[in-house]
Structure 1
């Protein structure tokens, strides 16, 4: 069983993700929060293997959330779920410690694959992401 939490300020999206993901008997959504600050509070009480996070949220964004999660517990995997496909945003999440990055325009099956891959200890990046272009941002 893969336990996940969702940090997403659009409640209808997080509710829809929960419904879709829990159709898989191997995934359970154990919490959701509308911003990074509330997610960090939740993580004091629940222990997910994977946190899905939007990048652009009020109060605390996904980059800050990812950085903080990784500083507190490197075993929690973080997947960015974002509409931003520009290499700079992706690089920023990778630098924050994200284990995966999925675009919101991708099919939900891509997100499910990302969750399974990241939970198994590997990184996962959306098929639409050009990692070569992202890595150029280092130079």
Structure 2
């Protein structure tokens, strides 16, 4: 065995080890490329989802603005209703007072008529008695 033969054996073993290492590195690089591609696809999907979410948020903000506007309108309407309700209460109170006054006047008028009727009945009775006495005297 000469030195070259031993070198050839070592050289062949070294080449094989080098080739195995190269294949291993190549596999790792392939896996990394695949992982980066997968991550890139996931990143694009996330960007798309974020864009969709931003669009939804913008829509929600618009809806919230609309709801706030409606609430403002409802509050204004409620204020108007409360004001009108107060006016109606005042009107009802005035009508009640007027009705009570008219009722009192009617009662006073009825009492006056009742007194007049009593007075007229008393006169009628007295006149009947006087007529009866006069008729009796004439007989």
For normalisation by structure 2, the TM-score amounts to 0.12
Q: Give the number of the structure whose alpha-carbon radius of gyration is greater.
A: 2
